[in-house]
Amino acid sequence: NAGVTQTPKFQVLKTGQSMTLQCAQDMNHEYMSWYRQDPGMGLRLIHYSVGAGITDQGEVPNGYNVSRSTTEDFPLRLLSAAPSQTSVYFCASSYGRRGDSPLHFGNGTRLTVT
Amino acid sequence: AQTVTQSQPEMSVQEAETVTLSCTYDTSENNYYLFWYKQPPSRQMILVIRQEAYKQQNATENRFSVNFQKAAKSFSLKISDSQLGDTAMYFCASMNRDDKIIFGKGTRLHILP
């Protein structure tokens, strides 16, 4: 099994550009989420989804959009990139609704906005 | 609001010693889940241990154990016989009924030879 696959691994954007970070999982997980990791800030939840067609905001949703049209995919869209969005982004999934189901993380995307 | 606080940004211990990482959390719910994740330099996030709030018995996984104090909202991680491979960032996290998993800011742990 591939687990959680994030693409790309690295990306450099200019201020104002848009892009989509891709996330796919092949474990039939209901729950998917996006985090950003910044030095000294830990992992902060951006958006999450408890199933296809359902999304909700996390701690730091501004500047990001998500959609969940299928169980497998949960893309994260940056509409107009800003330097403050320079970060490492992690996608994670789990069976959800069950605390004994741990989060499976992707390998992360390092995004730099200049 | 759901919050997780790790008060130790960085710690160092000698190999084979025991180390305890602190975590406190805040939640208005009675049933929830708590986790410790490890992030080595490879950047991969690895689940270390988990605890269900309604279970009074502290969770253990080999050299890793927790001290769960529900009334104090404290969830510390103890690593016994520490090894060089335990060097990593450690994150405490909580999950409420709304399925949101919130992480603390992390503790960077150095195991010294």
- Give pLDDT tens digits for B18-41: 999 999 999 888 888 999 999 999
Residue A97 has pLDDT above 80, yes or no: no
Residue B2 has pLDDT above 90, yes or no: no
State whether residue A100 sits within 8 Å of chain B by CB: yes
Residue A98 has pLDDT above 80, yes or no: no
State whether residue A96 sits within 8 Å of chain B by CB: yes
Residue A88 has pLDDT above 80, yes or no: yes
- Give pLDDT tens digits for A18-46: 999 999 999 999 999 999 999 888 999 99
- Give pLDDT tens digits for B89-100: 999 999 887 778
**Using CA atoms, how far apart are residues A6 and A94, in angstroms rounded to an integer?**
15
Q: How far is CA A106 from CA A38, A92, B52, B104, in A?
A: 16, 6, 25, 19
Residue A100 has pLDDT above 80, yes or no: no
Domain count for chain B: 1
Residue A8: asked if its preceding bond is cis (omega within 30°), the reply is yes
Residue A91 has pLDDT above 70, yes or no: yes
Least confident of A45-54, A103-112, B90-99: B90-99
Check which CATH number belongs to the domain holding B49 and give it. 2.60.40.10
Considering only alpha carbons, which residue of chain B is nearest residue A93? B101
Range of the domain at B21: 3-112
State whether residue B49 sits within 8 Å of chain A by CB: no
The torsion of the CA quartet A111, A112, A113, B3, rounded to 10 degrees, works out to 60
Q: What is the mean pLDDT of residues B82-94?
A: 97
